[in-house]
Copies of this chain bind each other. A is one copy, B any other.
Amino acid sequence: MTQEPAAAQGGQQQPPVTKRLAQFVHEVYPSDVSGSMREKLKELLLDYIGVAAAASTGADSTTAIHRGIANFDSTPGTNTVLNMGQKYSPQVAALLNGALSHSFDFDDTFAPGCLHPGTAIISATLAAAESADASTEATLTALAVGYEVVCRIAMQLADGSYKRGFHNTATAGIFGCIAAICSLRRLPAETVEMAFGLAASKAAGSMQFLENGSWNKRLHPGFAAYDAFLCVSLAEAGVVGAAECLEGRFGLFHAYSTRDPDLHALVKDLNHEWHFLGTALKPFAACRMTHGAIDIASQLARSVRLDGVEKITVTIRDGCYNIVGVPTPNKIHPQNIVDAQFSMYYQVAAAWLYGAGAGWSVYEKLGDPRIHQLSEKITVIGDATINGLETRMTVQWDDGRRETTSLFRPLGETSNPFTKDRVDEKFFGLAHPIYGKSKAVEIRDMVDNLENHSIRDVMSLVK
């Protein structure tokens, strides 16, 4: 990464990408949101509601985060937080919903951008839509625009930002949240650009949570959404934001990434090609980078005997290895939920021993000696030739036999999709204990038929 991206690329003319993205935000209308985009967005919304609602009572961090935010700003407002009753300002509701929907790490993921788009974008959009009593059409449009902006920026950060120590869900997240809020408010492109420019001074989110399983990560999407409301408010009032905040000499890509972004790709076919459609739903409440291995391990466990297994080797992409594979004590023997979520060792051992269907209850086994014994037989390798989420697992028996299984796309990706039945099944599994069976069905039906309801109707059901 050089300080002069244009020069570094042989003087080739670079497109003014921040300006183009700002124009895109203003230019997308409901008529641009196709039927398949709507279906996808409804699935993402339903999944979000289930995951966030379940975390409202199930996540160990919820009480403290809720109390901390309420002490900071308890102003009553117009906005709903899932399963919390109380009403808040849009930004506080977005912060709390953002934290809830990400606390289980069970929310949607976009592999090419190494991020969780929905937890930030849906939180910001719902907050802006509920306070404005927006139409379903406007809300779906804002969701599409927000998702697309965050996915495109994150694709160009990819894991270049992880190496620096930044988390795309947060740093790209704020730009997507701004896009969604501005789309919903129909703000001019100039205002969007200024809000983006201010976001250059608010984009943050550290990977240092990996050190001690801290709750920083759970707060990242909410911080992004909260700060997006601040940046938009300042820009609407005429505050001048930095120009070229993405591509500039001191812009996002220079500051937050070790990787040269492809600026042409960033804005290519805007409003024609919608990358966010590749967003995946998660079948397991663990880091997406462990999912391929969970799937393989749980299937192998049905067909091969654990007796005599000497060694299990899991091979994944280098960038994934840095997040879930480094053999530190808190990865091989995690003592808290966040460490376990980011431990290939724990996830593979638990899936092998107890199957992949445990959901959140897999973390009730943190002290299970069988898991910890099996973890010690596992080796993780980072391989620079592997792309995306491809996972290879080699099992070595004590009689010398070896068997290797590969999975290119874990369940939930476009080419190995969660069917709508599975989406509903996951939702009901999470929502039944919170809302009861009949209300959970009512929520599912309302989201499926969102065009016949308002966002306020949805929020009054999930409150």
- Quick one: which of B61, B201, B208, B255 contacts A242, CB cutoff 8 A? B208
Q: Give the distance to chain B from A417, nearest Cβ to Cβ, in Å.
A: 32
Number of A interface residues, CB 8 Å?
A: 64
A251 with B75: CB separation less than 8 A: no
- Quick one: which of B3, B200, B208 contacts A200, CB cutoff 8 A? B208
- Quick one: which of B163, B170, B210, B237 contacts A68, CB cutoff 8 A? B237
Q: Is A425 an interface residue (CB 8 A)?
A: no
Docked CA distance A61–B240 (Å): 8
Given A206-B250, A206-B255, A255-B206, A216 and B237 touching (CB < 8 A)? Answer: no
- Quick one: which of B220, B230, B250 contacts A208, CB cutoff 8 A? B250
Given A89-B73, A255-B164, A214 and B236 touching (CB < 8 A)? Answer: no
Q: Among residues 30 to 83 in chain A, which have CB atoms less than 8 Å away from a CB atom of chain B? A: 61, 63-65, 67-69, 71-73, 75
- Quick one: which of B167, B204, B217, B249 contacts A211, CB cutoff 8 A? B249
Q: Give the distance to chain B from A290, nearest Cβ to Cβ, in Å.
A: 19
Number of copies: 2
Q: Is A284 an interface residue (CB 8 A)?
A: no
Q: Give the distance to chain B from A277, nearest Cβ to Cβ, in Å.
A: 29
Q: Give the distance to chain B from A328, nearest Cβ to Cβ, in Å.
A: 10
- Quick one: which of B211, B215, B223, B254 contacts A244, CB cutoff 8 A? B211
User: A71: which B residues are within 8 A, CB to CB?
Assistant: 233, 236-237
A237 with B67: CB separation less than 8 A: yes
For A164, A203, A208, the residue with the greatest tally of chain B CB atoms inside 10 Å of its CB is A208
A205 with B201: CB separation less than 8 A: yes
Given A211-B249, A241-B216, A233 and B170 touching (CB < 8 A)? Answer: no
Q: Give the distance to chain B from A331, nearest Cβ to Cβ, in Å.
A: 13
A198 with B219: CB separation less than 8 A: yes
Q: Which residues of A does B touch, CB under 8 Å? A: 3, 61, 63-65, 67-69, 71-73, 75, 89, 91, 163-167, 170, 197-198, 200-217, 219-220, 223, 229-230, 233-245, 248-251, 254-255
| 10 extra A-B contacts, CB within 8 A, seeds A165-B251, A197-B214 | A61-B239, A64-B240, A71-B233, A200-B216, A201-B220, A206-B242, A208-B249, A211-B248, A212-B243, A215-B241
Among all A-B residue pairs, the 7 with the closest Cβ atoms: A165-B250, A68-B237, A68-B234, A165-B255, A212-B243, A208-B242, A64-B238
Question: What are 23 A-B pairs with beta-carbon distances under 8 A?
Answer: A64-B240, A65-B234, A67-B238, A68-B234, A68-B235, A69-B234, A71-B233, A72-B230, A72-B233, A167-B201, A197-B208, A201-B205, A201-B220, A203-B204, A208-B243, A208-B244, A212-B240, A212-B242, A212-B243, A213-B240, A214-B241, A214-B242, A216-B242
